[in-house]
Amino acid sequence: MQPINRIPSSVVATTMLILAGLTIPRAGYGAIWNITAGAESADLGRQALAFLPNELWIHAGDSVTWTFASDEPHTVSFLTADQLRPTVPHDGDIITPDGSSFDGSAYVNSGELCRNPALCPPAVSNTYTVKFPTVGNFKLSCLAHLYMQGRIHVLAVSALLPYDAAGYEQQATVERADLLSDVSPLPDSRVTALRVIAGVGAVASAGGGFQTAAVMRFFPAIITAHVGDTVEWTNLDAVTNHSVTFGTDPMTLRQPAPIGVVPGVNANLDADGALHANLNSPTDNVHSGALWPLPADRALNGPNPEVDPALNPPDLPQYPLPVGVHDFNQRYRVTFTHAGIYDYHCAYHDNLGMVGRVIVLR
């Protein structure tokens, strides 16, 4: 073997550059990984509330660009370890600039973005990029949807990555197809003449956390009743809130309106806890408030004693509850006192085509 000082320095330099190029993965130079947030059917009724794929292994120094692919808005948000989920995810929240870095020390949040930026003001783009300068495993959350999560595993530049871009594309395609066909839109046995399903949805899980499949439709969309009949709506979605809204949207969507104040258009509680409104005319305004699925029970005494408390969260994985879920109910009833055509909508998802009609005959 020749001593290295016998080799011209230019040859050594060139050889080292070639070796460097061969042994250091390209991603080490700051690769950008392109994935998507959200997916929807052509009619917008089926929504995948998911990061696709929801788990990614990258190198320190790499960036991830999410393209928002649905009319339903989502956020790309990285909370710090001790940070609680913001109370108001949609409005007035801190938004960090496109291209922000996340290393676990400071909050990064895209704000609500969607496929068409014009539908998600003040957004001007349907992409958001986050740079990951340091090694770590980071949880990704959508602040608009509680059960929409992901994980970004940031590895040392020398580490081998398990998947390439094509591999992630394949995973995303499978997860997308699965979520967009996940729930049955019409469980026939539960629909009778005067009962309407206000949305169906299910929570699924992938390696990086929760994903949600939701069908944002009323089933059936058109229903015929007679004067004096009561129609009942039930939200069958595991986590997505919907509303039954006749007329104009109130200022606060979460609260029912009006309640006990407008003669003839009152919304009162039935004995079984369901809100119940009376409608006299298609021009009356009534709003169910957010119809939420009932939350699971909280765990007694916090940690499971069989598990090291230091390793076990104090509550079940579903908790803490999203702030503000205290006025939930899943059911709403309306009695129609006059004939007419009554159009209604979900105040949260009418932009996706979640609308319905009750034809009231004499």
Cβ closest to Cu ion, residue 66 vs residue 348: 348
Backbone angles phi, psi at 75, to 5 degrees: -125, 150
Among 45, 274, 349, 356, the residue binding Cu ion under the rule CB under 5 A is 349
Binding part of the chain for Cu ion, among 157-165, 231-239, 270-278, 354-362 by CB under 5 A, reads 354-362
Among the listed residues 348, 356, 358, 360, the single contact to Cu ion using CB under 5 A = 348
Task: Please state, in angstroms and rounded to a whole number, the distance separating the CA atoms of residues 304 and 99.
Answer: 41
The residue among 168 and 233 lying less far from Cu ion, judged by its C-beta, is: 233
φ, ψ (nearest 5 deg) of residue 73: -75, 150
Strands 136-142 and 275-279: unpaired
User: How many binding residues for Cu ion (CB under 5 A)?
Assistant: 5
Residue 44 in contact with Cu ion, rule: CB under 5 A:
no
* Beta carbons within 8 Å of 325's beta carbon, 6+ residues apart: 292, 295
Contact 346, 240 (CB under 8 A): no
Site membership for Cu ion, residue 346 (CB under 5 A): yes
Minimum CB separation from Cu ion for residue 332, in Å? 12
Stretch touching Cu ion by CB under 5 A, among 43-51, 90-98, 177-185, 341-349: 341-349
- 59 vs 242 by CB, closer to Cu ion: 242
Minimum Å gap between C-beta 214 and Cu ion is 8
Closest approach of Cβ 48 to Cu ion, in Å? 15
Residues 140 and 148: their CA atoms lie apart, in Å, by 8
CB nearer to Cu ion: give 150 or 201: 201
The span of 76-84, 165-173, 235-243, 251-259 binding Cu ion (CB under 5 A) equals 235-243
Distances (CA, A) of 60 to 16, 20, 109, 159, 218: 23, 17, 20, 10, 46
**Between 69 and 354, whose beta carbon lies closer to Cu ion?**
354
Which C-beta is closer to Cu ion: that of 77 or that of 240?
240
| Count of residues in the chain | 362
Alpha helices in 135-250 (DSSP H): 165-180
Least distance from Cu ion to the Cβ atom of residue 182, Å: 17
- Residue 15, classified by CB atoms within 10 Å of its CB into exposed (0-12), middle (13-18) or buried (19+), is exposed
Given the complex with Cu ion, which of 242 and 333 has the nearer CB atom?
A: 242
Of the candidate spans 240-248, 258-266, 287-295, 321-329, the one that interacts with Cu ion by CB under 5 A turns out to be 240-248
* Amino acid sitting at position 171: Q
Q: Closer CB to Cu ion, residue 56 or residue 198? A: 198
Residues 171-200 that bind Cu ion (CB under 5 A): none
The answer to the question of residue 354 lying near Cu ion (CB under 5 A) is: yes
Q: How far is CA 293 from the centre of its chain?
A: 15
Whole-number minimum distance, CB 330 to Cu ion, in Å? Answer: 13
The residues facing 149 across adjacent strands are 141
Contact 239, 209 (CB under 8 A): no
| Identity of the residue numbered 130 | V
Q: Which of 115, 151, 176, 242 binds Cu ion (CB under 5 A)?
A: 242
- Tell me the window of 162-170, 237-245, 275-283, 316-324 that interacts with Cu ion (CB under 5 A): 237-245
Q: Choose among 202, 216, 66: nearest CA to 141.
A: 66
Contacts to Cu ion by CB under 5 A: 242, 346, 348-349, 354
